[in-house]
Chain A
């Protein structure tokens, strides 16, 4: 090839059953502007370490086999160019799935849940603009968009803490069945997702939709399922005796646990909102405790109270007051977004809604902050 080549370092996650702990091996590979992460890993296996295991098949983002975490983001390795990544490139297996070896995870639990949604692989084709199929070919079919790659489940902060959560892929498949039953029973599917570990478990970080390589938008599908359920017809459609299906506990998976709730690095805006919502929630609970303690000063007499008032006029205290106001505004406004989006309203525009509410937050914070300072130092 007549292209410029360069050497790229890859830090690859290594683990074999029986190893005391995983480690990272660093490999140098020669890359052209077109070299993908998958091609680099294949070259490593071919030329440097035949014991490196990875999954791959179609090499064009159609089979969903080569999902992995590259520089902290879930991607399909076959369509991820080394040239677009900061070096050294860190390659890790998908999260929230049992690890088999190196970059290989067990897709068994994923499919056990996914298959329950009962979505057929093929669907009726959408006609192209201007196309009028001839007699005999009206029933053209095409494949569903979901590649069953598991990136969404790996990126989901709820799947990181709840092993029984049905997960974004299965819930998106469930919504497809509700949208287009194709012989399936939507009521059964709605009953299946209407459970503690079903669509209600989602906290709307929307990272599933961000990492999806084929624009399936599981987050929006989950919101749509909730919308259908709260409209009532979903609940009315619930067949007798069709209580939530008990899900067997899955095998141990690599889960980040609560760390995933507080670490939004490399993630999209929905995930940042998710993390900030939790942080502000916790902070407000702590503030309430502090507030009760301050009120208790009243019982100790006027001197204690006067000392506190003096403290309250200090710049540090005023800064904390503004921070408190931010917390209240963020939690309240984002809570409004979560409530609306979570019930299927404006789910497709959750980011726009977020930035609109943040604009409200900034204005309210400026006015409120000025008010706080003015009140303390008239």
Chain B
């Protein structure tokens, strides 16, 4: 292991995958997280292992990332996914008109598809709206939003990384114009802490802008919350998507004994203030029931909001227009050495985000260490607590 020490701010999916990647490259890693790991955006997504099909038309870069990572994750995290596939269902003539673009987009981005007739789709999923026109089967899957990142963290810990939950960073330590560590509060023990580092990575998701400001730099991250509603009952086996442009309530993910309807999309300034507007809950029920009519009567288990950390301009209105891809910032470009920010992306692409970030980190540290996370099979999530 090299003498270099990297501190990662943020114990979400990105920080977890990055800790794993850098540890495999021989870097000493410490992850600091304000709360429990995966307690921010990561744990709260709808639990979709993306095929990428949702982005095939409008955001081919994200689509390509998703299908590549989907394939890699199935290999390195066996047992972490419900291998249940997904359907894109066309309900209206307008949906049907989208079909050609959709199939073209999937073909161009390498997403396998299989078109099912109305009858075939209903035989597979009898609870679908019987008025559906056709459906397209894609390799979506259900994942456990918390347990996949735990496997990254478990493997990183096993390989020597330190994970410090309840450690809130309040200040960056500077040596001249270079970031040389972090300072903050250990809430578990009610005491201050300081960690020195050769490089600090800001992987704070929707809080990334807040952390960047501690270094006097700016990152274009837009916290874009969405409301999700979990209802009792598993009404389909497969993930059900609406075959049209991305919109509100266009996905239902079966997870354990629940079905999760998502999502809406708006934009906030502070990811710590997330409302769950009543009308969004109603909208999720309404839109979900268009695809699966029984959802209208399914009792609600929970409604919650999570803030996507989208890359883009602060002028964004709903967040829908922003790409779901990710971006790495080397703040040396703004005159601050030793400080890197990674924002954007999705749970499905966390490993790829980590790979690109780690490539930059090792280059900056002057190390020659290739990425190994495409091959290394992750430890089970239970090993995180060992």
Known A1-B277, A62-B255; judge A50-B36 contact (CB<8 A): no
Closest to A127 in B: B237
Contact present for A55 and B126 (CB under 8 Å):
no
User: Which A residues lie within 8 Å of B147 (CB)?
Assistant: 63, 121
Within 8 A of B (CB), among A98-125: 100-101, 104, 106-108, 110-112, 114-115, 120-122, 125
- Name which residue of chain A comes closest to B144, CB basis: A143
- The answer to the question of B142 belonging to the interface, with a C-beta cut-off of 8 Å to chain A, is yes
Instruction: Assess whether A60 is in contact with B82, with CB atoms less than 8 Å apart.
Output: no
A-contact bits for B18-51, CB 8 A (1 contact / 0 none): 0000000000000000011011001110010000
Report the minimum CB–CB distance from A38 to chain B (whole Å).
9
Q: Is the CB of A59 within 8 A of B44?
A: yes
- A137 and B85 form a contact (CB under 8 A): yes
Determine whether A128 belongs to the interface, using a CB cutoff of 8 Å to chain B: yes
Kindly state whether residue A313 has any CB partner on chain B within 8 Å: no
Interface presence of A3 (CB below 8 A): yes
- Chain B residues with Cβ below 8 Å from A100 are 188
What separation, in Å, do the CA atoms of A63 and B273 have in the docked complex? Answer: 22
List the B side residues contacting A54 at CB < 8 Å. Answer: 35-36
**Chain A residue nearest in CB terms to B190:** A16
* Contact call A56/B43, Cβ cutoff below 8 A: yes
- The answer on a CB contact under 8 Å between A214 and B257 is yes
State which of A2, A106, A122, A130 has its C-beta within 8 Å of the C-beta of B79.
Answer: A122
Q: With A53-B166, A125-B84, A133-B124 as given contacts, are A63 and B385 in contact (CB-CB < 8 Å)? A: no
B45-67 CB contact bits vs A (8 Å, 1 = yes)? Answer: 00100000000000000000000
A62: which of B36, B124, B144, B188 is its contact (CB, 8 Å)? B144
Say whether, besides A111-B385, A128-B237, A59 and B43 are in contact (CB < 8 Å). Answer: yes
Interface residues of A in 332-371 (CB under 8 A from B): none
- Report A39-81 CB contacts with B as 1/0, cut-off 8 Å: 0000000100011111111111111010000000000001100
Q: Count the B residues whose beta carbon is within 8 Å of the partner chain — how many?
A: 64
A121 to B142, CA, bound (A): 12
User: Is there contact, CB below 8 Å, between B79 and A60?
Assistant: no
A300 at the interface (CB under 8 A from B): no
* Residue from the set A18, A50, A58 with the largest chain B CB neighbour count within 10 Å: A58
Contact A60 B228 (CB under 8 A): yes
The answer to whether A34 touches B82, judged by C-beta atoms less than 8 angstroms apart, is no
From B193-201, B301-309, B336-344, B348-356, the one touching the partner chain is B301-309
Instruction: Please provide the chain B residues from 68 to 122 with a CB less than 8 Å away from any CB of chain A in the complex.
Output: 79-85, 116, 120
B302 and A121 contact, CB distance less than 8 A: no
Q: Report yes or no: A58 in contact with B127, Cβ–Cβ below 8 A.
A: no
The reply to whether B385 and A53 form a contact with Cβ atoms under 8 Å apart is no
Interface contact B36-A131, CB-CB below 8 Å = no
Please indicate the chain A residues that have their CB under 8 angstroms from the CB of B278 in the complex: 1-3, 34
Distance between A109 CB and nearest chain B CB, rounded to angstroms: 9
From 270 to 304 in chain A, residues with beta carbon under 8 angstroms from any chain B beta carbon are: none
The answer to whether B386 and A112 touch across the interface, beta carbons within 8 angstroms, is yes
A40 to B244, CA, bound (A): 37
Interface mask (B353-386 → A, CB under 8 Å = 1, otherwise 0): 0000000000000000000000000001111011
**B237 contacts across to A, CB distance below 8 A:** 125, 128, 131, 133, 140, 142
The CA-CA distance from A202 to B187 in the complex, in Å, is 37
Q: What is the chain B residue whose CB lies nearest that of A59?
A: B304
Task: Please name the residue on chain A nearest to B306 by beta carbon.
Answer: A59
Candidate in A17, A60, A115, A147 with the most chain B CB atoms within 10 angstroms: A60
Let me know if B79 and A120 touch, CB within 8 A: yes
Does A21 touch B at the CB level, under 8 Å? no
A93 to chain B, nearest CB (A): 13
> Which residue of B36, B126, B166, B383 is within 8 Å of A56 (Cβ)?
B36
With both chains docked as a complex, state the minimum distance between the C-beta of A123 and any C-beta of chain B, in angstroms. Answer: 9
Q: Which residues of B contact A215 (CB under 8 A)?
A: 257
A1: B residues at CB distance < 8 A: 275, 277-278
Q: Is B125 part of the binding interface, using a Cβ–Cβ cutoff of 8 Å?
A: yes
User: Quick check: is B272 within 8 A (CB to CB) of the other chain?
Assistant: yes
A139 at the B interface (CB under 8 A)? yes
Contacts of B85 in A (CB 8 A): 137, 140
Q: Which residue of B lies closest to A136 (CB)?
A: B114
CB B169 to nearest CB in A, in angstroms, measures 13
Contact of A58 among B146, B273, B303 (CB under 8 A): B146
Identify which of B36, B228, B254 contacts A104 (C-beta below 8 A). B36
Other than the given A51-B185, A55-B36, 13 more pairs (CB < 8 A) read A34-B278, A53-B188, A57-B44, A65-B146, A111-B385, A111-B386, A125-B84, A129-B126, A131-B125, A140-B85, A141-B84, A143-B142, A215-B257
Q: Please name 26 pairs of A and B residues whose Cβ atoms are closer than 8 Å in the assembled complex, sorted by A.
A: A16-B190, A57-B39, A59-B43, A59-B44, A59-B304, A60-B260, A61-B302, A62-B255, A114-B382, A115-B383, A115-B386, A122-B82, A125-B237, A131-B126, A133-B237, A134-B120, A134-B123, A137-B85, A137-B124, A140-B83, A142-B84, A142-B254, A143-B144, A143-B255, A143-B256, A145-B256
Give me the interface of A with B, judged by CB distance under 8 Å: 1-3, 16-18, 34, 36, 46, 50-63, 65, 78-79, 100-101, 104, 106-108, 110-112, 114-115, 120-122, 125, 128-134, 137, 139-145, 147, 214-215
